[in-house]
Amino acid sequence: MNTNKPYAVGIDIGGTNTVMGIVDARGSIVAQDSMKTQQYTEIEDYVNELTSKLSTLIEKVGGSDTIKGIGIGAPNGNYYTGNIELAPNLPWKGIVPLANLITAKIGIPVNITNDANAAAIGEMTYGAARGMKNFIMITLGTGVGSGIVIDGNVVYGNDGFAGELGHVIMRREHGRLCGCGRKGCLETYASATGVARTAKEFLQTRTDESLLRKLDPESITSKDVFDAAIQGDKLALEVFDFTGTMLGEAFADFVSFSAPEAIILFGGLTKAGKLIMDPIVKALDENLLKIWKGKIKVVFSELKESDAAVLGASALGWEVK
């Protein structure tokens, strides 16, 4: 790394918030700020506010000469083009040339990728995947995202959008409707929203007692299910068993594709710990081809959730040409 440029900028663009930080080579965030994403319906207004906040942060660390590059993790961020393309949860529709817009304003080169790929790069640079050349990052949040690393490189595919493992179809018949418009995607079962959907289905189709029956079924969240499971609620425990089993079965298929050393889990659902991990590992082992049995580690991310997205994006900043 160029010692004259000891920092990289990481920007995580979410549907609700945009978080930005300046990161040193050890992975410490030395300055940070945030803004509301949805507030800016015009991309020009968004870029103006973003670059204004960035400039203030950059001045704090000695000016733009100290910055190697800017990395951005965003929904439907395309590494090849620098564009955000057709992102359903962002206020700007169509194709947004975000990297070029920011560089034009601030004069620093920008790399962009989707949020799950950014998490994978962050894990490889600063976290549980340090030293690994082959692994799969799975983000378990509102949806299910993934970043695939093979031989030390993130897999982008022909068009920049490879690795949408959350949209592998797990149930061909009677599958749940997904936000992507198809039915039966892994995301509809194994995300935080999927856990809530499973709980509602169990409550409708079964008669056994559960703490969850005291709640309005329409407002049940994955945290409600977790809280009940921690208290030993049988139905809630079975929801996590169902979810983890679905993930483990999917992971066995993913292993057949890229033979990873590890599958790394990140996101809100990982707070369930053993409740989700135990059925994952059991189902993975039961469904793996023999040549991989006992070889595949499943581990939780080592990055602090609040910092991970910015760290992952900043790792892209070090790579700018």
1 lies in some domain: no
Side chain identity at residue 211, one-letter code: L
For residues 204 and 56, state if they share a domain.
no
Tokens at 221, concatenated: 């969240």
29 lies in some domain: yes
- Say what the pLDDT of residue 2 is: 47
- Say what the pLDDT of residue 3 is: 56
Percent of the chain residues past pLDDT 70, beyond the cut = 99
pLDDT of 122 above 50: yes
How far apart are alpha carbons 48 and 82 in whole angstroms? 18
2 lies in some domain: no
For residues 230 and 81, state if they share a domain.
no
> What range does the domain containing 180 cover?
130-301
How far apart are alpha carbons 150 and 261 in whole angstroms? 10
Average pLDDT over residues 223-229: 97
For residues 67 and 94, state if they share a domain.
yes
How far apart are alpha carbons 117 and 111 in whole angstroms? 12
Nearest to 184 by CA among 259, 194, 37: 194
Structural domains of the chain, count: 2
pLDDT of 1 above 60: no
Taking all residues of the chain, what is their mean pLDDT, rounded to a whole number? Answer: 94
For residues 89 and 165, state if they share a domain.
no
Average pLDDT over residues 257-280: 96
- CATH number, domain with residue 30: 3.30.420.40
Residue 246 CA from chain centroid, whole number: 18
For residues 138 and 278, state if they share a domain.
yes
The three-state DSSP-derived secondary structure of the chain is CCCCCCEEEEEEECCCEEEEEEEECCCCEEEEEEEECCCCCCHHHHHHHHHHHHHHHHHHCCCHHHEEEEEEECCCECCCCCCEECCCCCCCCCEECHHHHHHHHHCCCEEEECHHHHHHHHHHHHCCCCCCCCEEEEEECCCEEEEEEECCEECCCCCCCCCCHHHCECCCCCCCECCCCCECECHHHHCHHHHHHHHHHHHHHCCCCCHHHHCCHHHCCHHHHHHHHHCCCHHHHHHHHHHHHHHHHHHHHHHHHHCCCEEEEECHHHHHCHHHHHHHHHHHHHHCCHHHCCCCEEEECCCCHHHHHHHHHHHHHCCCC
pLDDT tens for 150-161 read: 999 999 999 999
For residues 181 and 117, state if they share a domain.
no
pLDDT tens for 236-253 read: 999 999 999 999 999 999
Nearest to 160 by CA among 103, 90, 84, 98: 84
For residues 115 and 138, state if they share a domain.
no
pLDDT tens for 55-90 read: 999 999 999 999 999 999 998 999 999 999 988 779
For residues 96 and 170, state if they share a domain.
no
User: Is residue 127 within 8 Å of 256, Cβ to Cβ?
Assistant: no
How far apart are alpha carbons 190 and 197 in whole angstroms? 10
For residues 285 and 158, state if they share a domain.
yes
- Say what the pLDDT of residue 304 is: 84
For residues 168 and 103, state if they share a domain.
no
For residues 134 and 201, state if they share a domain.
yes
